[in-house]
Structures are given as C-alpha cells and as structure tokens.
Chains A and B, each alone.
Chain A
Amino acid sequence: MKNKKEVTRRDFLKTAAVAAAAGGARPMTAAPALLSSPNPGSTVHYGFIGTGTEGCNLLKRLATIPAGRCIATCDVYAPNLKRGVETIGSNPQTYTGSPTEYQRMLERKDMDAVLIATPLNEHAQMVIDALNAGKHVFVEKTMYFKEEEGEQIRKAAEANSRQILQIGLQRRSSMLYNIAMQMIRKGALGKVMFVRAQWHRNNNWRRPVRDPKLERLINWRMYKEYSGGLMAELASHQVDIANWAFEAEPLSVMGTGGIDYWKDGREVCDNIEVIFQYPGGRKMTFTSILYNAHLNYNEQIMGDRGTLIITIGKGMYYREAAAKSTNGKAKENWWAGATVTQQAVEKGIPLFPEEAQSGQQGFLDREMLYAKRWLASMGIFEYEEPHEPYWVELSNFMASVRDGKPNACGIDIGIADARAVIYGNRAIDTGTTVYWPKKEA
C-alpha cells in the first residue's frame, strides 16, 4: 500500500540535512552550570526536540512556566521549527536539517534538560543519547516503540541515575486522577474489578499535507515504520489508568482491529478492540474507532461499590446500588421525604465541587454536600482549584530537575505502559493472546 512516489521520513531527513547545512546555528553565549543536582531558585535550561503539533502543545504550556527556559529547539521540518520558536517565545537557538542534529544540540554544556515530542520510533535513541549526554529527560508517551528498547533505556537511566526521566502521561499529573486513585485506595469503589475505556473519534485522524512528498513525515502516525497507531497514541493514556487503578501490569492481552473504514493507504488500524487481563481476574477493555465520536473518550473504573467515570477535566462518581451485609446491629436512622427520583440518583457526584446549576435545593445538592463532607472526612478531598494537567506535568518536571521534587511519571510507569501498547498491537496483528513474560521471583 506504500505509495512509491512518497519519500520515507529517512529520505526526507537526508535531503533536509543538505538544505539546512547552509543555515548555520547561533551559539549561545551565556552558559550556566548544568543542574546535575537540585538547585532551587535557579532556572532549568532546556532544549526541545520535535516541535510538531504535540510539541507545540507542550511549548505553549512551557512558555508560562518560569522555572524553565527554552534555549534550543530542534525539528527536521522547517515550518514546525518556526512554529515551535514562535510558540515558546524565548528566542531559542534552532537545530534542524540532519536527523542527528539533535545530537549536536545535546553537546551543549549549558543545557540541563531535554524534552522530546518526536514520532514514536525516534524516542528511544533520543532518550538514551540525552541521558548519556547528562541531560534530564522528558519524553512524550508512548515511551518507546520496540520491546527491546525498554531495557536499553533502563540501562541508560541506571547509568545516569541522578538525572530525571519523566514520561509524558499527563493524567499522572492531574489532580482529578490523583483524587480518583485515592478514592480507589480508600475503598470508595469497593473491590475494583474492571476498567472500560474508549477513545472514539469521527475523523480520519490525519493531518493536512500540502505536498504529497511530505505525507509520511506529517502523517507518520499512519505508518507502521514509525507508529504504534491508535494503541500507542490513544490507548497508552488509558491503559496507564488501568495499571494505576489496579496497581499492576496486565498478564495477557487479546484483541482485534482492522483498516475497515478509512481505506486510504494507511497501515495502522482505524479501529481496535482489546482486552487486557490483570491478576485476580481484573480486566480492562479498550476500544478506539474513527467513525463515531458519540462516546468520545473517558475511562470507567468499576468496583463492587461504585463507578468512576473520568477524563481530563471531569470526573463523576456513582454509588453502586449494591448490597452490604454486616454482623450485628447498626444505628438505624432512616429518612422519609418526597419521592427521590431515580434520575437524581443516576446523575452521580462530581469529583470537584461545581456550583449548583439552577440554585435548586434538590436531591443532588444534598448529595453533593454529603459527598464533599464524606470525601473530606476520608482525607481525599482537596479544595484547591486544579491546574491543567499538561501544565502540571511540565511544572512537575521542572520541579523535579530543579528542586528535587518526586518524579510524577517515572521509568517503571513508562515501561509498563509501553509494554502494554506493544503487546496489545502484537495481539491485534497476530490474532493470538499475548502473555507478559513471567516475573522472576
């Protein structure tokens, strides 16, 4: 299905290298000492590799985080490089042209950290090179592309253990998700047995390409040479939530998928349906489709006493109408009042307080009050306004590098997540159940 007229990313990068040779790079003059150990009050100087759509999403947030300063950006595609420079607004030095140009950027001694938001197939080498160059590293999810890369990165991280390696699973930095996980740990959902997640869209998941030659560069997500498809780009966020909720990695995965709707030359599925099995019979199902967006994306975490339906910016808790059996007598004090409507019960309880929509003092308002008191009494309700997770994860990274704050999403989380993505895709590709390697005792 590969269009012969298309150039591969590698071809493009080679060509671009020649074109960029004449451009030259302006060396930075100021060169602060490398932050090899936490140094509160200082500024983290960082370089940014990959200033495409996701890269600019990060740069937009970084532009408002004073703990860090972007001193260099790197991208092989000039329009993206330009966009990145404009987005960060800190007049960074640019590196472009050769696919190995980022290595030249890594040679800079005045650079403390590197953030990587390139196509998936490039993550591992860049992370390893950056760690070995003495940089703290933030890499977008999925952490790596091929199974063996996990251990290669681990080796590099262990050899440079004073440096931070943070993975860009931004839900880990969301206060909402952290509260959800506390609710789970404190038993608000009872025994958590199932996570159902979906990421549904109704579009072709492509980016516009002006020049067909750039197809594989711009739409790298469509091609297996660079991309893990929907599993790597979308499921990775949500499998991580199941890992987090279950406090475990899966034991096995089965799945299916296909290129059944968008038959446009893409190599990755336009729909995938997978089931991850966790220890203790717990399971997670994930579906992603590109031809119906009604359900959009969220995760539904289900226990025998309640359900959390959660996504970035919104979480609802629903109590299960479940039975409970206790020994001995309870204090019986029952309420009588006008009929409580089922609708009010089914509306659920927001994880964050929201102003009563109509000012009505109905059932939901009372439930809200009750829920707030109850969550606060369990020590899992926080009244601070949450920050947007992208911003928080990048602030966390800067705080880890500069102030020695705990890493919000470290290598173990990243490897567990990447492994689930890789095995999930293998299950789809082979039509077999794929098992996790047995852990050594």
Chain B
Amino acid sequence: MDRLRRIGFVPGQPGTPASYPLAARIAGRFGYPLLTRLVATLSFVLLLFPVVGPPLRAADSLVRYEASHRAMGTVFTVVVYGSNSDYLEEVTNQVFQEIDQLDDQMSNYKPGSELSAINREAARRAVIVEPRLFKLIQDSLQYSRESAGDFDITVGPLMKSWGFFKGQGRLPSKSELAQVLKKIGYQHVKLDASARTIQFDTTGIEIDLGAIAKGYSVDRAVQILRDNGIKVALISSGTSSLYALGSPPGDHGWQISVRNPLDTSKAACVLRLQDLSLAVSGDYEKFFKLGGKTYAHIMDPHTGMPVENMLSTAVVSLSATDSDALSTSFFVEGPDAARHYLDRHPNLTAVFFLPEASSHEFKQVVLKSSTTKLPADAFISLDCH
C-alpha cells in the first residue's frame, strides 16, 4: 500500500454569516473594483427581478438531468437538479453554447479564434481585446508574477516543441530548447488596460490558455446556471476542473474522488464540496514515452523541460479559474513554494502527490491557506486515505 504522509492539514473553518452578499463574493474572487460595482448593480437588478426558473407545479417532482459536451479538446459534463427536465435541458444547452463560444474565442488550435489572431499580430501592433478575455489575460499575468513565472501562459512554443500540440511527443534538442526558451516569458506580454490592448515586445511569443481556460469556462458556466435559478449542479471539464453548486438532495456537498495518480482506477482522496471548485493537474493523461522515460505535458517554463518531481496536484478554491491556474502553478513549483502563496491568499486547500523512490509509492501533502473565511454556503470536507 502507498505510504502516505500528511502535512499541515487544517480542518474546515467556520464560514461567514449567511447574509454574505453574492456581489461581494464574486467581486472578492476577482479583486477588481469596477467589477464589484458591476456585479453589485447586477445583483440589485436581480433582487428586483428574481430569477428562479419556471414556477413549480404540484405534479412536478425532483428531476436530475445530466449531459455531456465535447469542447476544448475534452468533455464537459453537467448535472443539474430541478423540477422540470425541459427547463434543465434548455439551461444546460445554454451552458454548452457558452463553452463553445469560449472555445471559439480562446482556442490556439483554431486559426480563426481571437487568441490565434492575437498570437499572429500582437508582436507587430497593439491588438484590442474583448473585455473578459482581457481580464483573463490580466489575471493570468498576475498568477505568473505571484508564482515567479512557474505559471506562464506563454509556454505555447514549448508545448509545440515537445510535440504536445499535435499529440506526437518528441524530444527537442538542447539547442532547440535554448532557442524556444527565448520565446517564453510572461514579461513579454504588455497590456494597456485603458486601451484594452495587448502587445508582445518580441516576436515568436504565443499565448496558450490551456492551464486556465477550462477553469474559467467552468466559472462562466456556473454563472449561467446561477442566473437561471439553478441551485444544485455539478460541472466537470474533463474531470480536471469542477464546480460543485449547492448539494445534491439529502447530501452535504458533492462527493468527488481525486484519482490516485499511480492507479487511476482508485481514489486517493475523497472530497465533499459545496459552492467550491476543484482542479486537478496530473501527468497521467497527456504524456509520451521515449527511451524508457516518461515525459508529461506540464512544462517548467524556466527549464523548458517537463516537470518531473510531481505526480499530481489538486486545489480547492472559490473560483474554478483560480483552482485551474493554481493546480498548474503548484504542480510546477511544489509544496514549499506553494506554502508562501497560501500564506498570502485565503480560502485555498491544496493536495500534492509527490513521487517516492519506489515507482509504486507516492507521498501526499495537504496544505491550506493561513486564513480561511469561506462564505456561509461553502463547505469542504477532505479525506485522504
């Protein structure tokens, strides 16, 4: 059996009062004054015109609706509870439509996407960016600064060099890597917030939102669910980014099992989450083998090499965008550096699955933010075997 060790696990903290306003919660996530005002205004409007879905009829009973949808190179799954399956289907279709639009906008596989246009043109001129994508790129650069570059949305050329873009792994030569590394670095991305433009200060820079777009899409999906009065739902983006909205009837939290990275048919941890997101990064789905060595798809932007001393990371936070970005960031930097981040940022729980000398064993480290002030409706329980 795996030899497991836990470090610094702190049980869940009591939440803030139930009156914690939605606007502040969302705005708090983004830490952005303009958005705070926007969301506050929106919430006020929502109070005037409450969105609760179609009225319940006497004959209506509890309905569970589940659907999957292929997008962003993976499969999104949504489960919603409600009283009317037609309504649940319509809302879910709206979610998938939104995800498709985000895919069309943020894909670096689609030549026609806004991101592809940025990558083609931003080295030559300042390119104006759609507001929410601009915000996402701003946030991405913030993660980069806070992680000293361990999280970096400019790793695109590295992914291509290693063959992960086309799914055919290859080992780049040292000189090739040295060349490619010159094209890596979030510092080369220059944003002008007042003009809402982006520019690269050198040629060859390419933005790849693969480490954050799925989490961001989950957040956008959750917003649509909430806007349509959905109280209970779970959304999963290819199992790596999830959001648990409310709790299934009769349960406290959604039960989610994090895969054992060495035997993925087994659970390493079981969580129960309510109004929280979870993201997992792992080296066991996208990898290739060469000369007896395994090369996984998560890159260390500093060395240009796949990260080797980490099997998997899992992060729980209020926003799926945060969780997604941080699971990658923590995967690259490991628990020691992550601890500093957790000291500065509240409401995070991170699990690290570290390799041991024996290839059949791993070490498990659980870390939490120094401060936890979860909203009243948020709930987490974590049980690592």
Interface residues of A (CB under 8 A from B): 321-330, 332-346, 358, 360-363, 366, 369
Q: Is the CB of A335 within 8 A of B62?
A: no
B251 contacts chain A at the CB level, 8 A cutoff: yes
Stretch at the interface among B152-160, B186-194, B282-290, B373-381: B282-290
Ranked nearest first, the 6 interchain pairs of A and B with the lowest CB-CB distance are A338-B282, A323-B67, A337-B259, A325-B85, A339-B240, A338-B285
With contacts A321-B68, A321-B69, A332-B234 taken as known, whether A337 is within 8 angstroms of B61 at the C-beta atoms is no
Contacts of A343 in B (CB 8 A): 73, 167
With contacts A334-B255, A338-B280, A340-B285 taken as known, whether A327 is within 8 angstroms of B240 at the C-beta atoms is no
14 extra interchain contacts, Cβ-Cβ under 8 A, other than A325-B89, A327-B63, A361-B284?
A321-B70, A323-B89, A324-B67, A332-B254, A334-B242, A336-B257, A338-B259, A339-B73, A339-B238, A341-B73, A341-B285, A343-B73, A346-B70, A362-B285
Contacts of B283 in A (CB 8 A): 338
Complex: A340 Cα to B267 Cα, angstroms: 16
Q: Is the CB of A358 within 8 A of B289?
A: yes
For A338, the closest partner residue in chain B by CB is: B282
CB distance from A308 to the nearest CB of B (A): 19
B205 contacts chain A at the CB level, 8 A cutoff: no
CB distance from B197 to the nearest CB of A (A): 31
Contacts of A346 in B (CB 8 A): 70
Contacts of A358 in B (CB 8 A): 289
The contact sample of 20 A-B pairs, CB cut-off 8 A, is A323-B89, A325-B89, A327-B61, A329-B62, A329-B64, A329-B81, A330-B248, A335-B239, A335-B267, A336-B256, A336-B259, A336-B314, A337-B264, A338-B281, A338-B312, A339-B238, A339-B240, A342-B73, A345-B74, A361-B284
Complex: A185 Cα to B85 Cα, angstroms: 27
Q: Is the CB of B259 within 8 A of A328?
A: no
Q: Which of B241, B259, B264 gathers most chain A CB within 10 Å?
A: B264
With contacts A339-B285, A344-B285 taken as known, whether A334 is within 8 angstroms of B280 at the C-beta atoms is no
Which B244-294 residues have C-beta < 8 A from chain A? 248-251, 254-259, 261, 264-265, 267, 271, 278, 280-286, 289
Q: Which of A328, A366, A369 gathers most chain B CB within 10 Å?
A: A328
Q: Is the CB of B62 within 8 A of A328?
A: yes
Q: Is the CB of B240 within 8 A of A337?
A: yes
Q: Is the CB of B74 within 8 A of A325?
A: no
Q: Is the CB of A335 within 8 A of B74?
A: no
With contacts A337-B239, A340-B285 taken as known, whether A361 is within 8 angstroms of B248 at the C-beta atoms is no
B181 contacts chain A at the CB level, 8 A cutoff: no
Q: Is the CB of A329 within 8 A of B250?
A: yes
With contacts A338-B240, A339-B74, A366-B265 taken as known, whether A332 is within 8 angstroms of B314 at the C-beta atoms is no
For A362, the closest partner residue in chain B by CB is: B285
Complex: A366 Cα to B286 Cα, angstroms: 15
For B248, the closest partner residue in chain A by CB is: A332
For B72, the closest partner residue in chain A by CB is: A342
Contacts of B257 in A (CB 8 A): 333-336
Give the B interface residue count (CB, 8 A): 55
Q: Is the CB of B65 within 8 A of A325?
A: yes
Q: Is the CB of A361 within 8 A of B256?
A: no
Contacts of A362 in B (CB 8 A): 284-285
B368 contacts chain A at the CB level, 8 A cutoff: no
Q: Which of A322, A336, A345, A369 gathers most chain B CB within 10 Å?
A: A336
Contacts of A342 in B (CB 8 A): 70, 73-75, 238
CB distance from A327 to the nearest CB of B (A): 6
CB distance from A419 to the nearest CB of B (A): 40
B79 contacts chain A at the CB level, 8 A cutoff: yes
Which B64-100 residues have C-beta < 8 A from chain A? 64-70, 73-75, 79, 81, 85, 88-89, 92
Q: Is the CB of B70 within 8 A of A337?
A: no
For A346, the closest partner residue in chain B by CB is: B70
For A369, the closest partner residue in chain B by CB is: B265
Q: Is the CB of A337 within 8 A of B289?
A: no
Complex: A369 Cα to B264 Cα, angstroms: 12
Complex: A328 Cα to B65 Cα, angstroms: 10
With contacts A332-B254, A333-B257 taken as known, whether A340 is within 8 angstroms of B75 at the C-beta atoms is yes
Q: Which of B214, B238, B251, B254 gathers most chain A CB within 10 Å?
A: B238
Complex: A241 Cα to B236 Cα, angstroms: 38
Complex: A410 Cα to B285 Cα, angstroms: 49
B237 contacts chain A at the CB level, 8 A cutoff: yes
Q: Is the CB of A338 within 8 A of B62?
A: no
Q: Which of B61, B63, B240, B285 gathers most chain A CB within 10 Å?
A: B285
Complex: A344 Cα to B62 Cα, angstroms: 34
CB distance from A67 to the nearest CB of B (A): 45
Q: Is the CB of A325 within 8 A of B63?
A: yes
CB distance from B326 to the nearest CB of A (A): 14
For B244, the closest partner residue in chain A by CB is: A334
Q: Is the CB of A335 within 8 A of B285?
A: no
Q: Is the CB of A326 within 8 A of B237?
A: no
Q: Is the CB of B236 within 8 A of A338?
A: no
CB distance from A90 to the nearest CB of B (A): 53
Point out the residue from A325, A332, A363 that lies within 8 Å of B285, measured CB to CB: A363
For A325, the closest partner residue in chain B by CB is: B85
Complex: A308 Cα to B249 Cα, angstroms: 36
CB distance from A213 to the nearest CB of B (A): 56
CB distance from A354 to the nearest CB of B (A): 19
Complex: A327 Cα to B69 Cα, angstroms: 22
With contacts A325-B64, A326-B63, A361-B264 taken as known, whether A337 is within 8 angstroms of B92 at the C-beta atoms is no
Q: Is the CB of B255 within 8 A of A337?
A: no
Contacts of A325 in B (CB 8 A): 63-66, 85, 88-89
Contacts of A321 in B (CB 8 A): 67-70, 75
Contacts of B66 in A (CB 8 A): 323-326
Q: Which of A322, A326, A338, A344 gathers most chain B CB within 10 Å?
A: A338
CB distance from B132 to the nearest CB of A (A): 22
For B88, the closest partner residue in chain A by CB is: A325
Q: Is the CB of B89 within 8 A of A336?
A: no
For B267, the closest partner residue in chain A by CB is: A335
Complex: A343 Cα to B109 Cα, angstroms: 14
Q: Is the CB of A341 within 8 A of B89?
A: no
Contacts of A344 in B (CB 8 A): 285
B 155-173 to A, binary, CB cutoff 8 A, 1 in contact else 0: 0000000000001000000
For A334, the closest partner residue in chain B by CB is: B256
Contacts of A369 in B (CB 8 A): 265
Q: Is the CB of B278 within 8 A of A336?
A: yes
Point out the residue from A324, A329, A336, A340 that lies within 8 Å of B248, measured CB to CB: A329
For A319, the closest partner residue in chain B by CB is: B68
Q: Is the CB of B240 within 8 A of A322?
A: no
